[in-house]
């Protein structure tokens, strides 16, 4: 497997779903902080989908 979505970080529960673990943030600041921390733990990249959703991807 070359690329895999390890996690999703979002503000709104209605915008996301699927098989990857999903983390919900209380506000924009927590959204960004969670995305960075999770990406560091996994050694992965953060991708901002520009709709208050970030995905953490292992390349």
Looking at the whole model, is its pTM more than 0.95? no
Is residue 33's pLDDT more than 90?
Answer: yes
Is residue 1's pLDDT more than 70?
Answer: no
pLDDT at position 23 is 97
Sign for the CA dihedral angle at 38, 39, 40, 44 comes to: positive
Residue ranges of domains in the chain: 4-58
| 34 band by pLDDT with thresholds 50, 70 and 90 | very high
Q: Distance of CA 45 to CAs 14, 31, 58, Å? A: 24, 15, 6
Over residues 2-25, the pLDDT tens digits come to 899 999 999 999 999 989 999 999
| Contact call for residues 47 and 11 (beta carbons, < 8 A) | no
């Amino acid at each position: 497997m070359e690329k895999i979505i390890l996690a999703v970080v979002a503000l709104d529960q209605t915008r996301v779903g699927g098989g990857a673990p999903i983390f919900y943030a209380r506000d924009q600041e927590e959204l960004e902080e969670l995305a960075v921390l999770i990406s560091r733990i996994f050694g992965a990249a953060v991708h901002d989908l520009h709709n208050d959703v970030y995905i953490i991807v292992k390349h």
